[in-house]
């Protein structure tokens, strides 16, 4: 209690105060960006916002923690609420609402996003924490989702060995199960590709056709071209998205041009 505290009193425009806070934010435990913003735009709006979102005693924190990373007292929930409501322009939003006497709009939007996520995805998975739910809500909330069907899809995708990126499962489902890039599907390993290349090339040479099956059925000079291993890429004969497995039986080597044209791996 005897410790002397150094206290700064700041006056000036918002941008001047902001610069000043950045300058002094090098001593002790540095403030996170949202703490800096709270200081710059201090006033009733921030006070009410912190009461709702930065209060670790708030009974909703546990529910929010399923979707939002960080802690209440370091402003993680307040920051996310502002980020969602402002579509990424927290600074401007706080400046505009600085003198508001309530946070109704902010609270309403935040709860709408949380309620939407928890109604579409009824199971809570750890990978849901920290996803861009504000953006996903904006992009997909007008579509109809059957939560039982969604839940079954989530479980099926979670059990799929070929999916490397489980975080991507939620956006994949919201987008209508099209964008397999989100899932980072495992591809064929090197020995499998070499074995398939060898077999395909041997067969092609006896038929005097290209070892790329799509070149072989074409009409240009490439129809009898034997591509080197490095000039080819592995393709799923039956696409992963249509249930194709990543085993040698389902592997076909194509020249790079044709593989890229096929796209869906
Ligand atoms: Zn080809």
Q: pLDDT in tens for each of the 265 residues of the chain?
A: 899 988 878 788 888 888 888 787 777 788 899 999 998 899 999 999 999 999 999 999 999 999 999 999 999 999 999 999 999 999 999 999 999 999 999 999 999 999 999 999 999 999 999 999 999 999 999 999 999 999 999 999 999 878 889 999 999 999 999 888 899 887 788 888 999 999 999 999 999 999 999 999 998 989 999 999 999 998 877 767 666 666 677 889 999 999 888 765 4
Q: H/E element holding 86? A: helix 76-86
* Cα 254 to middle of ligand 1, angstroms: 6
Q: State in Å: Cα 217 to ligand 1 middle.
A: 9
Ligand 1 centroid to 216 CA: how many Å?
A: 7
CA of 251 to the centre of ligand 1 (A): 15
Token code pair at residue 53: 């979102």
Question: Is the pTM above the cut of 0.85?
Answer: no
* Cα-to-centroid distance, 257 and ligand 1 (Å): 6
What distance in angstroms lies between residue 126's CA and the mean position of ligand 1's atoms? 42
Say how many Å lie between the CA of residue 235 and the centre of ligand 1: 12
Query: CB of 140 within 8 A of CB of 110?
Result: no
Angle formed at CA 204 by CA 201 and CA 210, multiple of 5 degrees? 95
Ion ligand 1 contact residues with beta carbon within 5 A: 212, 214-215, 255, 258
DSSP code for 163: B
Pairing label, strands 251-255, 232-236: antiparallel
């Amino acid at each position: 209690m005897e410790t002397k505290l150094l206290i700064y009193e700041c006056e000036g425009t918002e941008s001047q105060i902001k610069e000043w806070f950045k300058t002094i934010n090098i001593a002790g435990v540095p403030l996170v960006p949202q703490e800096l913003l709270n200081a710059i735009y201090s006033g009733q709006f921030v006070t009410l916002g912190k009461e709702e979102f930065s209060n670790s005693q708030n009974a909703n924190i546990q529910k929010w923690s399923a979707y939002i990373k960080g802690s209440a007292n370091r402003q993680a929930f307040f920051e996310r609420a502002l980020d969602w409501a402002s579509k990424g322009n927290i600074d401007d939003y706080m400046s505009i609402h600085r003198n508001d006497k309530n946070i109704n709009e902010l609270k309403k939007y935040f709860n709408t996003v949380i309620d939407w996520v928890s109604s579409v995805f009824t199971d809570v998975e750890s990978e849901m924490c920290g996803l861009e739910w504000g953006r996903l809500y904006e992009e997909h909330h007008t579509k109809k989702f059957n939560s039982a069907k969604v839940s079954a899809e989530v479980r099926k995708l979670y059990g799929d060995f070929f999916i490397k990126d489980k975080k991507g499962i939620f956006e994949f489902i919201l987008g209508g199960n099209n964008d397999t890039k989100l899932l980072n599907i495992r591809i064929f390993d090197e020995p499998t590709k070499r074995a398939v290349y060898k077999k395909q090339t041997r067969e092609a040479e006896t038929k005097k056709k290209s070892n790329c099956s799509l070149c072989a059925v074409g009409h240009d000079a490439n129809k009898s071209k034997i591509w080197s291993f490095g000039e080819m890429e592995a393709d799923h004969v039956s696409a992963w998205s249509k249930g194709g497995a990543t085993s040698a039986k389902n592997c076909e080597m194509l020249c790079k041009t044709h593989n890229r044209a096929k796209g869906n791996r």
